[in-house]
Chain A
Amino acid sequence: MKIETRVGLIQADDNRFLGRSVCEELYPTVTDLGELWGRALGLTFADPLDREALRLCALATTSPDARVWPLKLSRLLSSAGEPVAGYIGAQLLNSSRLMGPGVGRGCAEALCFVADREEALGLEGALLAWKERSGGRMMGFGVPLRPTDERLRALWGWVEVSPLSARPWWQRGLRVAEVGRRVFGAEPNIALGLAALMLDAGLPADRCGLAIGLFTGPAFLAHAIEAAATDGALRELSSAWIDDRCAPARARGEALRDPSPPAFRRAPPPWGAGLDGAGPGAPTPGGGASAARSP
Chain B
Amino acid sequence: MRHAGLFDALPFASRLTAAVIQPGPLPRIFGLSVGLDLAGQVPFHAQVWLSLTGELPTPDEAEAFSWALSLLSALHIGRCPTHAAGLARLAGASDAMLPAIAAVGLGQWGEAEQALFTAVGDWMAGRSGPPAAAIEPAPDAEVEASQERLSAATLRWFGPAGALPARPLLRPEAAAAWLLLGLGIQDAARLQIIALWARLPATLAEALCQRPGAVLQHPGRLPDYVYVEDR
Contact = CB atoms under 8 A, between A and B. Distances in A.
A266 B160 contact: no
Nearest to A276: B159
B223 A260 contact: no
A241 B121 CA distance: 42
Contacts of B228: 4-6
Contacts of B135: none
Interface residues on A, range: 35 or more
Interface in A246-266: 246-252, 255-256, 259-261, 263-266
A152 interface: no
Contact of A239 (B23, B59, B225): B23
A268 B182 CA distance: 8
A267 B31 contact: no
Interface string B24-37: 10001011110001
B114 to A, nearest CB: 15
A89 interface: yes
B15 interface: yes
Nearest to A269: B182
B20 interface: yes
A294 B226 contact: no
A270 B124 contact: yes
A213 to B, nearest CB: 15
A268 B124 CA distance: 12
Interface stretch (A154-162, A169-177, A278-286): A278-286
A289 B227 contact: no
Nearest to B51: A264
B229 A260 contact: no
Q: Is the interface of A mostly helix, strand, loop or mixed?
A: loop
A6 B161 contact: no
A8 interface: yes
Interface string B208-231: 000000000000001111111111
Contacts of A295: 41-42
Given A6-B227, A6-B230, A19-B229, A280 B55 contact: no
Given A3-B225, A283-B184, A264 B161 contact: no
A158 to B, nearest CB: 21
B157 interface: yes
Contacts of A265: 53-54
A233 interface: no
Q: Is the interface of B mostly helix, strand, loop or mixed?
A: mixed
Given A19-B229, A19-B231, A266-B183, A279 B60 contact: yes
A242 B13 CA distance: 11
B37 A251 contact: yes
A66 to B, nearest CB: 8
A102 to B, nearest CB: 15
Contact of B55 (A251, A255, A270, A278): A255
Interface stretch (B1-9, B79-87, B166-174): B1-9
B160 A3 contact: no
A290 B49 CA distance: 14
B54 A247 contact: yes
Nearest to B104: A92
Interface string A34-46: 0000000000000
Given A5-B227, A266-B53, A245 B17 contact: yes
B230 A19 contact: yes
Given A260-B55, A281-B162, A2 B226 contact: yes
B227 A294 contact: no
B230 A293 contact: no
B41 to A, nearest CB: 6
B96 interface: yes
Contact of A65 (B7, B31, B225): B7
A146 B6 contact: yes
Contact of A243 (B16, B33, B104, B121): B16
B116 interface: no
B146 interface: no
A278 B228 CA distance: 62
A294 B184 contact: no
Contact of A294 (B23, B42, B125, B158): B42
B18 interface: yes
Contact of A3 (B42, B161, B226): B226
Q: What 8 pairs across the A-B complex have the smallest Cβ distances?
A: A260-B54, A266-B184, A276-B159, A247-B31, A270-B124, A246-B22, A9-B227, A250-B31
19 contacts: A1-B224, A2-B226, A3-B223, A4-B226, A7-B227, A145-B6, A242-B16, A245-B17, A246-B19, A247-B30, A247-B54, A249-B22, A256-B31, A261-B54, A263-B187, A269-B183, A271-B126, A281-B158, A294-B56
Given A4-B226, A280-B157, 5 more contacts: A4-B228, A65-B7, A242-B18, A264-B54, A292-B59
